[in-house]
Amino acid sequence: MKKPDETVVRETIYIASWTLILSAVLESVFLITGLWKPDVLFGNLLSAAGAVLNFFLMGLSVQNALDKEEKDASQLMRFSQSMRMFMLLAIGALGVLFFDPVASIVPLFFPRIAVMFRPLFGNKDVPSGDIASGPADDEAGHEGGESIK
Amino acid sequence: MELAIGIILGCCALGAGLAMIAGIGPGIGEGNAVAKACEAIGRQPESRSAVTTTMLMGCAVAETTGLYALVIAILLLFLAPGRLVNILVETMNTLG
């Protein structure tokens, strides 16, 4: 199996952090409303782990697909998406049947919420514009983008 | 009574199946997006990291549509039949 790319690991950690924070918020809401029971915690843990695993597997698929030809990449992503859907179906079904339904379903959307907050707390050192036209180092070793007087 | 329960279970299963049609879209969308990303990386190999990051975020967003459908399907398959059958039984008992 290929080693996960640094970008994939970094983004997965970002998503996992947000999932953890949002899971804590979900548990707090259940505690405040007096609806908390162990089923809520276990359902939340199962579903949050599934959501992060889904994102990580998607990252691995994207990483593998980027090394392939366009057509193969497209097919690989479709296959990967179908398999991940089955995985999430199994996780969701387990959660709904054996744990709290709400606590098992809601964490599946936490990665989406994390992506929504990405522009606010995202990695600032990744340029969002034209990468090729970024500042280049000059021959004297000075960093680009600064005026040398 | 058995016929009514059968209809409820059948409709729930049919609804779940119909909901999962929405799961096809994200797969096609992700496939097309990754294909274009391959093309972009082929043109500019140095942009691989930035393209991968954008791709991951884009795929996560695209997949949410499929997740909505999945959640509806899960609820229709595992939660709705029991509740609907209970409602039916209670209604029948009330009516005598």
Question: What are the respective helix, strand and coil percentages of chain B, to the nearest 5?
Answer: 95, 0, 5
Is A145 inside any structural domain? no
Res B49 pLDDT > 90: no
Question: How far apart (Å, rounded) are the C-alpha atoms in residues B13 and B7?
Answer: 10
Question: How far apart (Å, rounded) are the C-alpha atoms in residues A127 and A62?
Answer: 20
Prediction ipTM score: 0.84
Count of domains forming chain A:
1
Q: What is the pLDDT of residues B6-23, one digit of tens each?
A: 999 999 999 999 998 988
The one-letter amino acid at B17 = G
Res A113 pLDDT > 80: yes
For the whole model, what pTM was predicted?
0.82
What length does chain A have?
149
Question: How far apart (Å, rounded) are the C-alpha atoms in residues A61 and A109?
Answer: 20
Decide which of A125 and A74 is more confident. A74
Domain span holding position A36: 6-121
The model's confidence at residue B53, banded by pLDDT at 50, 70 and 90, is confident
The conformation of residue A69, written as its DSSP 8-state character, comes to -
Res A144 pLDDT > 80: no
CATH architecture observed for domain B23-95: Up-down Bundle (1.20)
Res A146 pLDDT > 70: no
Choosing among B57, B61, B68, B75, which should be mutated to test the A contact, i.e. which has the most A CBs within 10 A?
Answer: B57
Is A130 inside any structural domain? no
Is A41 inside any structural domain? yes
Q: Report the gap between the CA of B26 and the closest CA in chain A (Å).
A: 8
Decide which of B93 and A135 is more confident. B93
Partner A contacted by B59 (CB < 8 A) = yes
Question: How far apart (Å, rounded) are the C-alpha atoms in residues A135 and A149?
Answer: 17
